[in-house]
Amino acid sequence: MRIIYVDVDTLRADHTTPYGYHRPTTPNLQKLADKSVVFDRYYCSDSPCLPSRTALTSGQFGISNGVIGHFGPAAQYRLDAGHGPEPDRPLLGQRLIWSGYYTAAISVFAERHRAYFFHGNFRESLRATDRMGDEEAPDVNRAAIDWLRRHADEEDWYLHLTYWEPHTNYTQPAEWTEKMAASGPVQAWPDEETIAAHAEVYGPRSALDLNYSIHGAGKSPVPHNMPDAIRSRADFEHLVNGFDGAISYWDHYFGQLMAALEELGIAEETAVIVSADHGESFGELGSYAEHGMASEPVQRVPLIVHWPGVTDRLPPEARRNDALLYNIDLAPTLCDLLGLDVPAGWQGESFAAAVRGERIDSRAYLVLGHGAHTYQRAVRTRDHLYLRTYHPGCFRAEWEQLFHVTEDPYLTRDLLAQEPELAARMRSHLAEWWNEYAGRPGALPDPMQATLQTGPTYYNDPARYARHLRESGRAHLAEDLEHRLATLNVPVSWHAPDRPRTTELLERWIHLLQTRDQRPADRADS
């Protein structure tokens, strides 16, 4: 069997045609979906990029494989010393290689995130360009189609392609953004009143700090595709047009990739799987154009599986599946479809029966984690989402929230106080899951708890950001951020080179702790 896995960075499911989007963003993806099974409730177990792809290829949750964030001990893949892969928990690509498959990748993900273990999936890894990520779709296609021409006559290969288009910054030519703007209206939410209220939600990629980075506030690097800030509906519409334009641009080149399979005569013999590492927020919880929380728009990802001779013969009603699934389920599913044994150390469950058009049982709930911009875990049932924040980073993230996602898809009404019994049940689900994977003898420490003192501060230093809030006339928000971090008993800065600039903020933090009878002197060198 020939298999192509198409990994589209930041592709939000409900902005694609197969998932009912009202704009024609992905006609070529829809052509594939017409002969595939579309999975409606497919979630990355861990987000964003590095935790998600590690979970996908390791078949394990981040709490077990060690990668829940993007730097330091929170991003260290757990491997025992020794020769060769661990037989009970190999990477997906290693399992395929053992069975005679030739595996290859056209992706610089491993180098972009210093995730060199990712190369262990592949016998061959190719660069489309000399760039460290953000290659454009035509460059990826050039390398991919060349690879396909050289291997079209061979059997049993697995090709992993990474496309970056929908990830900010939206670098596609402006005509693609204009085309989407002309194709139909942008969603009605958030309205002007909501956008105005979001001025009180601070954090990088919030409404007023859409282009803030650790280097300071900035203007849009792509003004034709993305505004400087979100101050009005017009700004929001401009942002969504840019995102949709990026998706449409990618889909155009995806169509060329599919045409190449037809030209080579292998389209009917090649499985094609399209998914994403994570989605994207567009106003939910005050976050814009970012994948910074364990929320519904971030964790839910598309999954479209075309398996020749199987999915193309299914009746239409068998081509949709709404079981709650994780991305760690894909590795055992592929083994199942290929007739291979599933390694004992993988934590996912095969849904191969659903690819064959059969009904499958759904999990009662999923537990989802995020560790790059905040430290959060979430519980997702069929209707509800419970969010628990362990560290807010620089974002105004509440400690606990509860939403009825089916009735409130934009997460606007927090039900935590109104539904105490439901909240307690969701907390118990989270505790049950944690005890299963980190609370038993022999289990490795939870990397989210082990790195809580530093937290998700790689991209944005809280001290610098608090300074920025004050300089931009939002001192009350700076005080709120500092109070949240003081409540956690963590320092507001970890960037040693910036010590002189953070003295005032450190003094504020020390004062806050002293008022709570703490002993900050023990952490004065943090």
CA distance 7 to 289: 19
Residues in a beta bridge with 106: 126, 161
Q: Is the peptide bond before 48 cis (omega within 30 degrees of 0)?
A: yes
Per-residue pLDDT at 255: 98
**Residue 39 belongs to what H/E stretch?**
strand 37-39
Q: Would you list the DSSP string of 246-288?
A: HHHHHHHHHHHHHHHHHHHT-GGGEEEEEE-S---EESGGGBE
Phi-psi region of 20 (alpha: psi -120 to 50; beta: other; left: phi over 0): left
CA distance 250 to 162: 11
Please check the confidence at residue 518 and state whether its pLDDT lies above 50.
Answer: no
Residue ranges per structural domain of the chain: 2-190+202-355, 366-450, 462-523
Per-residue pLDDT at 491: 53
Please check the confidence at residue 523 and state whether its pLDDT lies above 70.
Answer: no
275-285 burial string, b = 16+ CB within 10 Å, else e? bbbbbbbbbbb
CA distance 302 to 43: 8
Please check the confidence at residue 353 and state whether its pLDDT lies above 80.
Answer: yes
Structure tokens, 128: 């489309």
CATH, domain range 366-450: 3.30.1120.10
Please check the confidence at residue 503 and state whether its pLDDT lies above 50.
Answer: no
Per-residue pLDDT at 82: 81
Please check the confidence at residue 526 and state whether its pLDDT lies above 50.
Answer: no
Spell out the CATH class of 2-190+202-355: alpha beta
Q: How confident is the model over 202-232, as pLDDT tens digits?
A: 999 999 999 998 666 789 999 999 999 999 9
Per-residue pLDDT at 418: 98
pLDDT averaged over the chain? 92
CA distance 384 to 323: 15
**Tokens 């089916």 label which residue?**
406
**Residue 103 belongs to what H/E stretch?**
strand 102-106
**Tokens 């920025």 label which residue?**
468
Q: Do domains 2-190+202-355 and 366-450 have the same CATH topology?
A: no
Per-residue pLDDT at 525: 34
Q: How confident is the model at residue 490 (pLDDT cuts 50, 70, 90)?
A: low
Per-residue pLDDT at 84: 78
Structure tokens, 211: 């282009």
CA terminus-to-terminus distance, the chain:
54
Q: How confident is the model over 126-177, as pLDDT tens digits?
A: 999 988 877 899 999 999 999 999 999 999 999 999 999 999 999 999 999 9
**DSSP-derived 3-state class of residue 46:** strand
**Residue 43 belongs to what H/E stretch?**
strand 42-43
CA angle at residue 13 from 46 to 95, to 5 degrees?
A: 50
Under 8 Å between Cβ of 166 and 246: yes
Residues ≥6 apart with Cβ < 8 Å to 178 = 241, 245
Per-residue pLDDT at 452: 94
**pTM of the entire structure?**
0.92
CA distance 265 to 489: 62
